[in-house]
Amino acid sequence: MKKHFLWGLSFFALACSTKTETKVEAPQLSGNPIFEGWYADPEGVVFGDEYWVYPTFSAKYKEQLHFDAFSSKDLVTWEKHANILDTAAIQWARQAMWAPAAIEKDGKYYLFFSANDIQTPERSSYDPNNDINHFGGIGIAVADNPGGPFKDYLGEPLLSEFYNGAQPIDQFVFKDVDGTHYFFYGGWGHCNLGKLNADFTGFEPWEDGELFHEITPEGYVEGPFMFLRNGTYYLMWSEGGWTNESYKVAYAMSDSPVGPFERVGTILERDSIATGAGHNSVIQKPNSDEWYMVYHRRPIPNEDRDHRVTCIDVMEFNSDGTIKPIVMTFEGVAANPID
């Protein structure tokens, strides 16, 4: 009896020792914000097998004199590339460099940006005794690598004039399927559209001889961005005031990159997570229908005009192609390496 008891005990112990436990690990998440520091106006873009984000260094205008960039293989772990461009390289930029936008062409990387917060005499913000914002606009820098260092491409602004009432800021370059590089830009409630020439030194005129056509949709304030999905062109922009909690993102859909653009609705705005969510961009994982909204927002409580952080959340579509409202999170997104 004792022998059988011991044999049974041994069998039980063996069974317990050979049993394996399956541990389910929680997915890696980016968290929001996706990197430390005050950063705004982020442009997300894919170069090769890496995700890149180019944001504004969010500070007072006199301190906002350089750009950092961030890269990731999986959307979760981000590497900082410090000081990829500053006013030492852009001699004409004297204050307030912001809203970078990057694109690759023929093996070179071009970084478009706004500088100097250029004003016009008829506006109350124009100071005749301080010429720091009498000249400026949209510049362009170039590098051999997406992490720079970038250098001034033209030695002067690409665009410094005012057309259709649009302040020359907040540019975005969209490459269409036919190779045309469309140039969206504009502040002060006006959005203009032009076409960059082949070497990015200027603009090709439209058929009517004009360099820029105004395409301003209802509610537009600033920050245009375009992407293409399933043959539909989506134009996004920011509404409200960038210095406060009213900032938000709206969009339009069109069969053409030149419009017309009729406002569909708001898809990103304040909630219990954060306020002042806006000036966004969109990242598509290559060869997939997986999309992400990259944007800045103001933490709650917000203690300063320039306390803005860069975040990422999933962007999804309804069956008719319209965009579902973005759900802001503290968790961010799961790891998603580019195949």
Q: Which two tokens stand for residue 254?
A: 């069109």
Catalytic residues: 41, 222
Query: Angle CA(226)–CA(111)–CA(174) in degrees, nearest 5?
Result: 20
pLDDT (tens digit, 0 to 9) for every residue of the chain, 339 residues total? 444 444 444 444 444 444 455 566 667 999 999 999 999 999 999 999 999 999 999 999 999 999 999 999 999 999 999 999 999 999 999 999 999 999 999 999 999 999 999 999 999 999 999 888 899 999 999 999 999 999 999 999 999 999 999 999 999 999 999 999 999 999 999 999 999 999 999 999 999 999 999 999 999 999 999 999 999 999 999 999 999 999 999 999 999 999 999 999 999 999 999 999 999 999 999 999 999 999 999 999 999 999 999 999 999 999 999 999 999 999 999 999 999
- Beta strand segments in the chain, E: 39-47, 50-57, 66-72, 79-86, 98-105, 108-115, 137-143, 151-152, 172-175, 181-185, 192-196, 203-204, 213-214, 222-229, 232-239, 248-254, 262-268, 274-284, 291-299, 309-315
pLDDT tens digits for range 54-86: 999 999 999 999 999 999 999 999 999 999 999
Number of H helices, E strands in the chain: 1, 20
Q: Which helix (H) or strand (E) holds 53?
A: strand 50-57
- Asked if residue 90 lies in contact with residue 115, where contact means CB atoms within 8 angstroms, the answer is yes
Does the pTM surpass 0.85? The reply is: yes
Is 94 strand, coil or helix?
A: coil
Find the largest Cα–Cα distance for the chain: 107
